[in-house]
């Protein structure tokens, strides 16, 4: 059984008491080797942002406290955390009594989760427990949505397993594009259940993919079986290898499943990464399906 399947795809009883041992680390190198990502720090910078919408605990007086836990950690961590194990772990804290009041309970909750995750991820993480909406920010307002372009209705889509050759069809003159699509869909590596999301790409190069070729490539991921972070890095690597860009940024904002959404971003320079989505203090504006 692969490490990722320790709890994913298995019938697992929900722990009712605090259970950090249920967290499952997954080495990033396992997937990166498939795409010749042998020196990731030379290829990209990036972050993985997780929003846990079902985070909560009890104060010592038994008052429930709930909120949104925003977790941000770097793409150069040796491991990622398997999402079902994180869900089970957070649920194991639901009946845990922490703090004499709400603020002290939140402080204790964040300290516990931060310590446990840093241990399995082997990196420093940023984590904030949000109990109310912040001023909504959004990184992708000026991105053109590919499927809304007039030519999308006239384009034939027939490839549903990853087809990087599509990116080389009908290439355009160089320049810079900021485009996105809400048609991203891939499948869980273990359970094969569908994962829905949106992808946003910023690309500046001497040659560019034609808009519909890029959309057809995104659609071709529909039957791929990978974790969210792996899909983001696969898209990034294909674009990097083919276009040798001056600027490249890829962000994948996936729909929540089990109360958690995963939003990875990769870019060839830190300044090209989106800001709000990876700021732990900000609850950025959610997309329709998040």
Mean per-residue pLDDT, 257-276 = 95
Mapped onto helix, strand or coil, the DSSP state of residue 107 is: helix
- 195/137: higher pLDDT: 195
Q: 135-170 as b/e, with b when 16 or more CB fall inside 10 Å?
A: eeeebbeebebbbeeeebeeeeeebeebbeebbeee
Given the residues 48, 116, 139, 188, the one annotated as active site? 188
Q: Is the pLDDT of residue 85 over 50?
A: yes
Q: Is the pLDDT of residue 12 over 70?
A: no
The whole-number pLDDT of residue 25 equals: 94
Question: Domain 3-130 is in which class?
Answer: alpha beta
Q: Is the pLDDT of residue 237 over 80?
A: yes
| Contact (CB, 8 A) for 277 and 49 | yes
Asked if 188 is an active-site residue, the reply is yes
The pLDDT-based confidence of 171 (bands split at 50, 70, 90) is: confident
Which of 47-56, 188-197, 272-281 has the least mean pLDDT?
188-197
d(CA 68, CA 91): 13
Structure tokens belonging to residue 215: 């959309």
Mapped onto helix, strand or coil, the DSSP state of residue 120 is: helix
**For the chain, domain boundaries:** 3-130, 144-278
Do 3-130 and 144-278 have matching folds? yes
Given the residues 116, 195, 261, 279, the one annotated as active site? 195
| Helix, strand, coil % over all residues of the chain, rounded to 5 | 30, 30, 40
Q: Is the pLDDT of residue 235 over 70?
A: yes
d(CA 180, CA 16): 41
Mean per-residue pLDDT, 224-242 = 93
Task: Give the CA angle between residues 232, 238, 239 to the nearest 5°.
Answer: 90
Asked if 195 is an active-site residue, the reply is yes
Structural domain 144-278, CATH architecture: 2-Layer Sandwich (3.30)
The closest of 72, 2, 59, 53 to 30, measured between CA atoms, is 2
């Amino acid at each position: 059984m692969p490490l990722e399947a320790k709890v994913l795809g298995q019938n697992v009883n929900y722990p009712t008491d605090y259970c950090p041992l249920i967290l499952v680390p997954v080495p990033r190198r396992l997937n990166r080797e498939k795409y010749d990502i042998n020196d990731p720090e030379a290829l990209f910078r990036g972050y993985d942002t997780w929003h846990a919408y079902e985070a909560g605990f009890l104060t010592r007086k038994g008052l429930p406290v709930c909120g949104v836990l925003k977790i941000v950690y770097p793409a150069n961590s040796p491991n990622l955390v398997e999402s079902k194990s994180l869900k089970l772990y957070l649920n194991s804290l639901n009946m845990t009594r922490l703090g004499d009041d709400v603020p002290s309970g939140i402080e204790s909750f964040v300290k516990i989760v931060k310590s446990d995750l840093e241990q399995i991820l082997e990196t420093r993480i940023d984590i904030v427990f949000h109990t109310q909406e912040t001023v909504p920010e959004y990184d992708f307002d000026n991105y053109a949505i590919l499927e809304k372009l007039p030519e999308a209705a006239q384009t034939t889509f027939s490839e549903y397993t990853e087809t990087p050759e599509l990116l080389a069809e009908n290439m355009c003159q160089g320049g810079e594009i900021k485009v996105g699509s809400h048609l991203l869909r891939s499948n869980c590596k273990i359970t094969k259940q569908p994962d829905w999301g949106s992808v946003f790409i910023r690309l500046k190069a001497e040659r560019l993919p034609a808009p519909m070729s890029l959309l057809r490539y995104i659609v071709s991921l529909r039957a791929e079986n990978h974790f969210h972070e792996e899909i983001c890095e696969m898209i990034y690597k294909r674009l990097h290898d083919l276009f040798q860009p001056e600027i490249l940024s890829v962000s994948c904002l996936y729909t929540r499943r089990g109360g958690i959404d995963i939003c990875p971003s990769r870019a060839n320079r830190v300044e090209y990464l989106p800001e709000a989505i990876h700021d732990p203090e900000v609850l950025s504006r959610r997309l329709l399906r998040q």
